[in-house]
Structure 1
């Protein structure tokens, strides 16, 4: 052993807990560090004699750690954990994957080892193993240690997981401390850290809770950290606090964080009760109207329907919201025509959606299908929702993204049942199927029934998903429901109607694009400007003559059609007529493909895209 190596081995390293505690104690006025702390420099790793794959390393970790969990001498066991992890050159992500599934013969011994590792561990891997054990076995006495270690960025996720069943407000505060960089939210984190309840309320009222400024998980963590449900239970409740609470609840119902955060909010039912029963205290403004209608839509057919409601209580809350929103002073909000384009979109959405949560109550059919469009201030896409026996299918069975668009599922006829089985993708993760999975089902007519069976959830990465049985529907009722949903366009706005008509025209006449060596991609509305229709097509030379080079260069084009006030049927017809005579590459813009090929053909590359 060389002299520097020998000195490193003989010099005791401070525990990572002591390191985090020292940094935390140095913060002024009891504040918490924005973004958390980095880990200190770790000792160099031994050189691997032979490379190990993921599976081999995981199996070696199981063998190395299992017996140590039952060792009554936790000091010896902790030292041995350090040594074995170092010898295996295991990384923390190996530890996080393996330790949660290790068998526990002696829970008391394993808990003691977890405490020893978190409080005295000197390597990230050993402390990570301790945190994983306490995530399974932690008790209230572990809260201060978990809170401190959670301030280290690399440990935040596991520490929050361990804290959540023990102390949700502390878990949420640690999450906000490390994850929130927004300057507008830092005063709230600072007030929570020092338990300044007056400042917490003041910062809540002052916060910008616009959907574009606040993610769904951040909304939930704020509600948990400040004890929102307890604040709402107090009397009296300030109308400004009530309005902010309604906005936080509405943000939690969004699926932009994959799983609807409202289902992870333990106090959701209590918070809903407090907000809805006092909704009449709010002033009838456009924002309040849109927020309450969003809550009603989610209670009606969204994830909030899955909350543990007492019998009849969810329906009672919907009745209260209907009474408030349809009162004369609140109805007048949607009768006005604002000048601001964003306010116009919200007003028109309220007009289209005002009856949906209240008049479309479940009937006798076992399956109900409807299209839901969120408040335009929260730019989610239109989604197809399925209620089976009154329960929302996609959030319960998949929970990684909303149902697919009505254009994909309804306009295409994919849900129609025939004797020939057809697999249909009902939902896809918010990222993509290749990343976090999708939900598929096989639809088939079987005599007097339609059967949904052979469910397939691809790469969802979630544990504990419910088993999905084969669902049998009366064929006559099923056909009627699908036909009704296919013909119900009440949810659509002019640009979306134009997109649907344009898509139908191109399905009937694909030669309108192929004559220009183009293949139809998709048509919809712009995510950031929902009043603009966007048609995507791919240019591949030789497509028109049937001699396409499948390995050749290609370009994606986007044709944007802003809403000019022309009725949707006329706009779609004019667009189709234009494709009859004019190459769309002359007026569409490149959206992707080969940058070199675009340059060769003289098309400008989209700004901000490096290709």
Structure 2
């Protein structure tokens, strides 16, 4: 070995695995910190990054044929301009790399060497992807430690999801779960304190503030929830927690795909529903069981791979249980406004998931209001042949509300084709996409066709959907029924819907004040209020709007006064017709400058 080679050997960079292990040992009890570890990223000097397609081709060239050792792969990556910034492309390329049977053992051995000795993210990720395909149980501890480095967490979890779901969930929770309330549970998981997992799980809050659908799934996977239920069959606290985790996984406000990705969902449903009779008839438990029933009847739970008839059996069991007198009085002791609101929701919604309403051609619209304690949204779920369309093909957000789809008549079929947005991503369409369908009338049929998914940044092709044809008369009856059905609605929401209907029928009620209708519904922070918002542009009624590009938005809050919703809505519409709403509504949008220019106060803190 030359002197230069000796110096290179002495100054060889530390393997990323060794770096992660050293960082882990510095923390008390060897438990990683929340968000894992960051490490300095090295930027290639004097080299412009390769465009995506060139990088993909270069990665294929570097991997064909697979080298014998990590150093050779590192040299190829350097020569071809492949950098750490290409780590996700590397993972996808390796995942699709053809591997003849006689190369499998060599590829596995290379993957292990890359994972254990690789010093750059690019080469280590190639190893992670190889072990995701070919790894064995002995590789799991190495991958778990590497997953604590933030720029490797995603690829490691993808690999561990194939090799060992529990380990993937533990790493996911350690790095991604940001709530302090979860740290004792993560500590028990990471240290292998098996006896502590059960009590820490029972102690966890499953409030949406702390537990999203993804967190709920990973908690269930990490704790081996079905096994815990089997070991503690009489623990009603654990049983209730398991039910709440299922509810959170199916939450449409987050990602409905989490419930579908949870491999043990059927076992947990069986365990919870099969033992639900052991639960005390509290308001919390009644709401949890009703939420499960709603999901099993028209939500994401329908889409699980159920054995024939099993889902119907579980629904019937829940229906019988919740009809028992002891459950019927679960909300009788409600003392706070939140508890009374929840008890009212149970009374309104209690029979909905158990009604077997047959519809011709299998088309149905089910409006579902979720548990108000969780601030669940109201959805207009479209079902074809009993299966909810939105979560079946669009895993990034819930179905739109009835305010959007029904109150505006968007699902009605006319002679002219109409493209309708059925769902939008929980962030925004511009971020993560939306689901569209074109609806048209064709003689005695209504056709849903030309499905379109706008999914920016998605690496997977959107699922293709066929055209659906429905009997037009039956379709019209179902839309009319859904549009007029208020059984799901609470008083303030009904007031808002009636005000909106009145303004749609008579738009000049607002236009006479140079105003136009905007969002009208119940209040999010206070569901016992109806909220009317409108835009104001001076001169709109005369046809000469002044600075139409700078409107002001106003908000009028109407508190439920206990009188019939029809009377409250009629009174609100009369006031809108007789008094300028700008005199009693408050500015809530636009710009401070424009508000002050027109003589209105800008809201504090806005």
> TM-score, normalised on structure 1?
0.91
Does structure 2 retain, via aligned residues, the 8 Å contact 1:258–1:429?
no
- Give the structure 2 partner of residue 579 of structure 1: 576
Q: Does 1:429 align with 2:425?
A: yes
Paired with 1:575 and 1:239, the residues of 2 have a C-alpha distance of 48
Q: Deviation per CA, 1:295-321: give whole Å up to 9, x if none.
A: 000000100011111111111111111
| Distance verdict in 2 for CA 1:92–1:237, change over 3 Å | farther
- Give the structure 1 partner of residue 3 of structure 2: none
Q: 2:378 aligns with which of 378, 382, 395?
A: 382
How far residue 351 of structure 1 moved from its aligned partner, in angstroms, is: 0.5
Q: Deviation per CA, 1:173-218: give whole Å up to 9, x if none.
A: 1011011232221111111112222211111122222233321111
Paired with 2:600 and 2:136, the residues of 1 have a C-alpha distance of 63
| Distance verdict in 2 for CA 1:459–1:369, change over 3 Å | same
How far residue 361 of structure 1 moved from its aligned partner, in angstroms, is: 4.6
Deviates more, 1:504-513 or 1:594-603: 594-603
Q: Does 1:22 align with 2:22?
A: yes
- Give the structure 1 partner of residue 45 of structure 2: 46
Paired with 1:82 and 1:141, the residues of 2 have a C-alpha distance of 28
How far residue 595 of structure 1 moved from its aligned partner, in angstroms, is: 2.7
- Give the structure 1 partner of residue 239 of structure 2: 242
| Distance verdict in 2 for CA 1:604–1:229, change over 3 Å | farther
Paired with 2:194 and 2:9, the residues of 1 have a C-alpha distance of 48
Coordinate RMSD, CA, aligned = 2.4
- Give the structure 2 partner of residue 513 of structure 1: 510
1:580-595 correspondence to structure 2 within 5 Å = 580-595=577-592
Partner secondary structure for residue 560 of structure 1: strand
How far residue 60 of structure 1 moved from its aligned partner, in angstroms, is: 2.1
How far residue 555 of structure 1 moved from its aligned partner, in angstroms, is: 2.0
Partner secondary structure for residue 374 of structure 2: coil
Q: Deviation per CA, 1:267-301: give whole Å up to 9, x if none.
A: 00000000000000000010000000000000001
Q: 2:521 aligns with which of 520, 524, 538?
A: 524
Paired with 2:123 and 2:548, the residues of 1 have a C-alpha distance of 50
- Give the structure 1 partner of residue 492 of structure 2: 495
- Give the structure 1 partner of residue 85 of structure 2: 91
Partner secondary structure for residue 184 of structure 1: helix
Paired with 1:362 and 1:231, the residues of 2 have a C-alpha distance of 39
Does structure 2 retain, via aligned residues, the 8 Å contact 1:99–1:133?
no
Does structure 2 retain, via aligned residues, the 8 Å contact 1:499–1:524?
yes
- Give the structure 2 partner of residue 3 of structure 1: none
- Give the structure 2 partner of residue 58 of structure 1: 52
How far residue 359 of structure 1 moved from its aligned partner, in angstroms, is: 1.4
| Distance verdict in 2 for CA 1:431–1:229, change over 3 Å | same
Q: Deviation per CA, 1:448-483: give whole Å up to 9, x if none.
A: 221111111112626264320011112222222222
1:548-587 correspondence to structure 2 within 5 Å = 548-549=545-546, 552-587=549-584
- Give the structure 1 partner of residue 4 of structure 2: none
Paired with 2:274 and 2:185, the residues of 1 have a C-alpha distance of 27
Partner secondary structure for residue 195 of structure 2: helix
Paired with 2:34 and 2:361, the residues of 1 have a C-alpha distance of 52
Q: 2:538 aligns with which of 522, 536, 541?
A: 541
- Give the structure 1 partner of residue 311 of structure 2: 314
1:59-458 correspondence to structure 2 within 5 Å = 59-69=53-63, 70-84=65-79, 87=81, 91-92=85-86, 95=89, 99=93, 103-104=97-98, 108=104, 111-234=108-231, 236-334=233-331, 336=332, 338-458=334-454
Partner secondary structure for residue 193 of structure 1: helix
How far residue 338 of structure 1 moved from its aligned partner, in angstroms, is: 2.2
Does structure 1 retain, via aligned residues, the 8 Å contact 2:132–2:163?
no
Paired with 1:544 and 1:96, the residues of 2 have a C-alpha distance of 60
How far residue 578 of structure 1 moved from its aligned partner, in angstroms, is: 1.6
How far residue 588 of structure 1 moved from its aligned partner, in angstroms, is: 2.1
Q: Does 1:32 align with 2:32?
A: yes
Does structure 1 retain, via aligned residues, the 8 Å contact 2:424–2:433?
yes
| Distance verdict in 2 for CA 1:417–1:44, change over 3 Å | closer
Paired with 1:560 and 1:37, the residues of 2 have a C-alpha distance of 47
Does structure 2 retain, via aligned residues, the 8 Å contact 1:78–1:117?
no
| Distance verdict in 2 for CA 1:538–1:474, change over 3 Å | same
Paired with 1:486 and 1:143, the residues of 2 have a C-alpha distance of 53
How far residue 380 of structure 1 moved from its aligned partner, in angstroms, is: 2.4
- Give the structure 2 partner of residue 4 of structure 1: none
Partner secondary structure for residue 51 of structure 2: helix
Deviates more, 1:450-459 or 1:268-277: 450-459
> TM-score, normalised on structure 2?
0.92
Paired with 1:338 and 1:43, the residues of 2 have a C-alpha distance of 59
Does structure 2 retain, via aligned residues, the 8 Å contact 1:78–1:113?
no
Paired with 1:308 and 1:443, the residues of 2 have a C-alpha distance of 30
Paired with 2:82 and 2:257, the residues of 1 have a C-alpha distance of 39
Paired with 2:9 and 2:572, the residues of 1 have a C-alpha distance of 74
Q: How many pairs does the alignment contain?
A: 595
Paired with 2:580 and 2:135, the residues of 1 have a C-alpha distance of 66
| Distance verdict in 2 for CA 1:474–1:24, change over 3 Å | same
Where does the alignment leave 5 or more consecutive residues of structure 2 unmatched?
1-6
Deviates more, 1:264-273 or 1:11-20: 11-20
| Distance verdict in 2 for CA 1:561–1:81, change over 3 Å | farther
Paired with 2:358 and 2:109, the residues of 1 have a C-alpha distance of 52
Does structure 2 retain, via aligned residues, the 8 Å contact 1:254–1:260?
no
How far residue 224 of structure 1 moved from its aligned partner, in angstroms, is: 0.5
Q: Deviation per CA, 1:460-517: give whole Å up to 9, x if none.
A: 6262643200111122222222222122110011111111111111112222222222
| Distance verdict in 2 for CA 1:418–1:42, change over 3 Å | closer
Partner secondary structure for residue 44 of structure 2: coil
Where does the alignment leave 5 or more consecutive residues of structure 1 unmatched?
1-6
